[in-house]
Amino acid sequence: MKQKLTIPLFALLCLFLFLNATIDLDNLFNYQDQFIPNYITKDNSATNPMDDKLATLGRVLFYDKTLSSNNTIACASCHMQEFAFSDPATQSVGLNGGLTGRHAMRLVNTRFADEVRFFWDERAASLEAQTTQPIQDHIEMGFSGTNGDPDINDLIEILEGLTYYEQLFTFAYGDPTITEARLQLALAQFVRSIQSFDSRFDDGLSQVNNVNQPFPNFTPEENQGKNLFLQTPANGGAGCAGCHRPPEFDIDPITLNNGVITVAGTAGTDLTNTRAPSLRDVVNNNGDLNGPLMHDGSFTSLLQVIDHYNAIPNDPTNTNLDPRLLGPGGQPQNLNLTIAEKNALIDFLGTLTGTNIYTDEKWSDPFEPNGTITIIGGNLGIDALPALKPTLTVSPNPVQQLTNLNITDGAYSVTIFNLLGQQILQSNIEGSSTFDLGSFKAGLYILLVEDMDSGLTNSVKILKQ
Ligand code: HEC
Ligand code: HEC
């Protein structure tokens, strides 16, 4: 009797453990329709609209050590969920013990920002362009094609040999082909999906709907710190909001450097660092820093940060200092903050920390400790796949006015949506047809085709110019 009970229990437990390292394509996590507060207006995902399938593929890539040339480093080795996707080390350890030249940035709310160039010095023109640069870095992941390293095409060949990528790419893109562009789209989707809007700041703002009003859920010190953050130095504030703009706390795209011009781990000067990640989740829920701060990781407390802005170093060699950090006489600013004011600013920065980002499974490691992963669901009998969906192509795409939808004969319902999900056009067709998009505004649209007999659907993105 006892034995009969334990065996199913054991089997259930195994199933449970097994499911932890399983991607279930029929039950995807929600990446594309996450809750976004109504006061969040910046969104840079328009050219790569959020999609659960792509983000799911991106999650696997982000955690996959196969993406480094010696199978030891994944994106997540330097961008760790428990530290808001940053690294507590000042410089991250890459291949063979090599160190990165800058501190690994938090990846929080990258989607909700006007600045679309990435890295501290903004050398990546977009998040998509950014994502394959670490892969092609000799120290970070090693597919650089230089110094005797393999290159990205070698990586693509390796990935094409893995069954789980054959499944995931087919699921995400309709066929198993792997290209650098497809890697970029999927990795950028996953990074953009990482969002944090459950902080005490969000709670307060949603109560009063005006960032300048005192927040009822804040202590007097936190409200004082908020005022200091928001007000310009001319108005008795610390002027932080001029560059770190609430409520997203994204960096103003025109920002120059902030006077931190040292280089991590070596002597020298670097005037090029003009981007900061969102100031959300600088500290964790215990008030501890998620990693040292600034491009060189030279600040290990928030007090050091405030002290820096309180008295910006006067260094004539810094020809790229942002003019907003100059005082009335044109010299680097001296805010003369009191200790109480400094502490208030620190308290306020602590209110920008959320909870979910540190624990949500959708951003967690999908691999077993031994590096295996299991994909289930998704109707992935690969042979059966072409019959599953009506195959279609659209040309020309991008389109100015007329575009042809090519599809095998049959009865279909065609709907075109804009990216807000609003229906712009609906039509029933009997095979290939021409559509006039002349009156559409420029931008991306989704054309959805439903086979009226089988109910199967397929979709394609159309760019209206
Ligand atoms: C060896 C450590 C390491 C690995 C591996 C790594 N990164 Fe990074 N990441 C960094 C460092 C360091 C920076 C800042 C570099 C700079 O600005 O020069 C950074 C910056 C970024 C940024 C820019 C964030 C911003 O706000 O501008 C993104 C996005 C990013 N990494 C994503 C990834 C992805 C995706 C992967 C995997 C394909 C990855 N990283 C692999 C260390 C790493
Ligand atoms: C003129 C624009 C500007 C102003 C004003 C400004 N910052 Fe910054 N901030 C930056 C830039 C640029 C960086 C990235 C600099 C670097 O790493 O070299 C940065 C970085 C930071 C960081 C580190 C972020 C990280 O992820 O490591 C913190 C924290 C910060 N600022 C807080 C503040 C506070 C608090 C104030 C007001 C007292 C303030 N900033 C005012 C431009 C500004």
Does 77 have pLDDT greater than 80? yes
Residues near 180 by Cβ (< 8 Å), separated by ≥ 6? 132, 152, 156
Q: What is the pLDDT of residue 456?
A: 76
Higher pLDDT, 375 or 383: 375
CA distance 209 to 316: 43
The average confidence (pLDDT) of the chain is: 91
Does 84 have pLDDT greater than 70? yes
Q: How confident is the model at residue 54 (pLDDT cuts 50, 70, 90)?
A: very high
Q: Which of 79, 115, 184 to mutate to test the pocket of ligand 1 (most atoms within 8 A of CB)?
A: 79
Centroid of ligand 2 to alpha carbon of 336 (angstroms): 18
Residues near 16 by Cβ (< 8 Å), separated by ≥ 6? none
Which ligand has the shortest distance to the CA of 77?
1
Higher pLDDT, 2 or 114: 114
Please compute the mean of the pLDDT values over residues 115-141 and round it to a whole number.
96
CA distances in angstroms from 292 to 56, 264, 302, 385, listed in the order given: 30, 11, 9, 49
Does 21 have pLDDT greater than 90? no
pLDDT digit string (tens) for 162-209?
A: 999 999 999 999 999 999 999 999 999 999 999 999 999 999 999 999
Q: What is the pLDDT of residue 116?
A: 96
Which ligand has the shortest distance to the CA of 91?
1
Q: What is the pLDDT of residue 20?
A: 58
Cβ(155) – ligand 2 distance below 6 Å: no
Please compute the mean of the pLDDT values over residues 260-283 and round it to a whole number.
97
Q: What is the pLDDT of residue 265?
A: 93
Find tokens 């969000």 and name the residue: 202
Residues making up the chain, counted from first to last: 465
Does 385 have pLDDT greater than 80? no
Higher pLDDT, 281 or 17: 281
Query: Which residue's alpha carbon is nearest to atom 13 within ligand 2?
Result: 276
Please compute the mean of the pLDDT values over residues 97-122 and round it to a whole number.
97
Q: Which of 118, 240, 254 to mutate to test the pocket of ligand 2 (most atoms within 8 A of CB)?
A: 240
Name the residue among 46, 183, 174, 153 with its Cα closest to residue 463: 46
CA distances in angstroms from 366 to 129, 355, 371, 375, listed in the order given: 24, 20, 9, 10
Please compute the mean of the pLDDT values over residues 118-132 and round it to a whole number.
97
Q: What is the pLDDT of residue 444?
A: 81
Please compute the mean of the pLDDT values over residues 35-43 and round it to a whole number.
98
Cβ(244) – ligand 1 distance below 6 Å: no
Residues near 297 by Cβ (< 8 Å), separated by ≥ 6? 89, 90, 91, 102, 103, 264, 291
- ω into 332 cis (within 30 of 0): no
Which ligand has the shortest distance to the CA of 255?
2
Q: What is the pLDDT of residue 422?
A: 76
How many percent of the chain have pLDDT more than 70? 93
Q: What is the pLDDT of residue 292?
A: 98
The two tokens of residue 366 are 């999908």
pLDDT digit string (tens) for 320-343?
A: 999 999 999 999 999 999 999 999
Cβ(144) – ligand 1 distance below 6 Å: no
Please compute the mean of the pLDDT values over residues 90-117 and round it to a whole number.
96
Which ligand has the shortest distance to the CA of 323?
2
Q: Which of 92, 243, 290 to mutate to test the pocket of ligand 2 (most atoms within 8 A of CB)?
A: 243
Q: What is the pLDDT of residue 389?
A: 62
Q: What is the pLDDT of residue 278?
A: 98
What letter represents residue 60's amino acid? V
pLDDT digit string (tens) for 397-444?
A: 889 999 999 888 889 999 898 766 678 899 999 989 999 999 998 888
